[in-house]
Amino acid sequence: MPDQRAPSDPSTYIDTARYPVHLHHDDPARRAVVERLRHDLATNGVAILDGFVTPEAVARIAADADVRLVDAHLEDVWGTAYLGLPDESFPEGHPRRTAVHSRTHVLAYDLVPASCPARQLFEWDALAAFLGEIIDRGPLYRMDDPLGALNLTVMDEGHVQGWHYDSTDFVVSIAVRASDAGGDFECVADQRSTGDERYEQVAEVLAGTAGDRVAVYPMTPGTLMVFEGRNALHRVSPVVGDVSRVVALFGYATAPGTSSSDLLKLVRYGRTEPLEVAS
Ligand SMILES: O=C(O)CCC(=O)C(=O)O
Ligand SMILES: [Fe+2]
């Protein structure tokens, strides 16, 4: 049967044979996929949906990122894993006192064209519902943040994202383009939990002595990854080579109306307000 879906139907951007996001949530095939990914997330702290976005859509997202790069903000900051300034009341070597470097181009939500497949996937309710079932913490909401809910990050040679926890409950990343070397996503899932920061273990991660507690995920374009950034300590290792690394980041929360702080907006996007002209 010919494909009768409209070209802008977000389901055309994904491999629906492997990931039947568009089907009713009671559909057995969809339920089986959700169960498997729910298990992966609960077991590993990360769910990896390889081959989720089609090569054609991935290429369009990369092209959009390249075209819009001139308008991107260069985040270049030293801060702690807790997204604050080092606190000298802690002893030397303590994670609250240890600054890490992040340097990356960030294209805020309002700079991502409406026609970009990443934006259309992010704004697709069926995808939020599907991810919510995988995450299994009640309804999942897209962040209500005109700058930070959706980002494209573009990392050139030498760019890096230091070890940190996100201020967002859940982050979904879509790998768009891998660098020649480096640019790996490194993650310690469930490094902390509410009321238990486990600073000694965090210090090991920051010092590079945590060994195989750190999971390393090389980038494969088209892969969608779900992780609990609020409690997963993670970083992107320094990018090496001429090809820039591109990732689309979708921010979700377990409550509606969630935004990021003005400080975080300034650091990441260089401004606190959305642009007036719609993109
Ligand atoms: O680029 C990635 O893979 C993750 C980026 C990240 O951790 C962040 O932007 O908070
Ligand atoms: Fe992060």
Contacting residues for 26 by C-beta, under 8 A, at least 6 apart: none
Q: Ligand 1, from 166, 176, 234, 237: best to mutate by most atoms within 8 Å of Cβ? A: 234
Give me ligand 2 centre to Cα 159, in Å: 14
Q: Which domains does the chain have, with CATH numbers?
A: 24-269 (2.60.120.620)
Ligand 1 contact, 247 CB (< 6 A): yes
What Rg, from alpha-carbon coordinates, does the chain have?
Answer: 18
Contacting residues for 247 by C-beta, under 8 A, at least 6 apart: 152, 153, 173, 174, 175, 176, 219
Digit-by-digit pLDDT tens for the chain (279 residues) are 677 787 779 999 999 999 999 999 999 999 999 999 999 999 999 999 999 999 999 999 999 999 999 999 999 999 999 988 999 999 999 999 999 999 999 999 999 999 999 999 999 999 999 999 999 999 999 999 999 999 999 999 999 999 999 988 899 999 999 999 999 999 999 999 989 999 999 999 999 999 999 999 989 999 999 998 999 999 999 999 999 999 999 999 999 999 999 999 999 999 999 997 655
Give the closest ligand to the alpha carbon of residue 247. 1
Kindly report the protein residue whose alpha carbon is nearest to atom 3 of ligand 1: 185
